[in-house]
Amino acid sequence: MTQYSNRMMIVHWLVLVMMIAAWFLGDAVHDARHEGGATIAAYVVHALVGASVLLLTLVRLFFRSKDGVPPPLGDTPADKLAQLVKYLLYAVSILLPVSGFMQALTSDVCKAITAGNAAMLPKKFEGVMAHDVHEVLVNVLIVLVVVHVLGALKHQFVLKDNIMGRMLPGKKG
């Protein structure tokens, strides 16, 4: 079994780490906003981590175009679903940071950051469509990641085809 390139593997795991960080930071900002303790620094750090997800995803797509990818293991409906999940993960990894950026632009978040005044941060995002899109995409991302991980675990431990070796440095399929 062929592996992904080393740089594809590294970026894959970095994206995962950044997504987890963005989720925890976003959750903390959400809670702080509702409790009246949101800070500009928290919004900026969350945005920077989200931007890193976008950048790393674009880098990964570039590496994918240059390095290629291992062929699918089969042509069953489950294999096609796995391919669809991968493509949707790429799409959501781009759309989620973009929707967060749009949320900041179409609400008072950018004004608060520019003014350096946390008191201007919105308590609610009523009428901010990008906020609603951002929240939906977070939930879609969670579902996609769970399906992706469960599929990898099924391959590794039920089908025993060592598919996870494709994305683990130093492992040979």
In tens, the pLDDT along 127-139 reads 999 999 999 999 9
Alpha carbon 55 to its chain centroid, in Å, reads 11
pTM over the 0.85 mark: yes
In tens, the pLDDT along 158-170 reads 999 988 999 988 7
CA distances from 105 to 44, 47, 57, 88 (A): 13, 12, 22, 25
In tens, the pLDDT along 17-39 reads 999 999 999 999 999 998 989 99
Helix 77-105, helix 129-153: angle, nearest 10: 150
Query: What residue segments make up the domains of the chain, in order of their start?
Result: 6-167
Q: For residue 173, what pLDDT band results from cuts at 50, 70 and 90?
A: very low
State residue 87's pLDDT score. Answer: 97
* CA 159 – CA 76 distance, rounded (Å): 14
Tokens 């925890």 map to which residue? 24
Q: Who's near 64: CB < 8 A, 6+ residues apart?
A: 8
Q: Dihedral through CA 49, CA 144, CA 28, CA 15, nearest 10?
A: -20
Residue 98: is its pLDDT beyond 90? Answer: yes
State residue 1's pLDDT score. Answer: 59
Q: For residue 41, what pLDDT band results from cuts at 50, 70 and 90?
A: very high
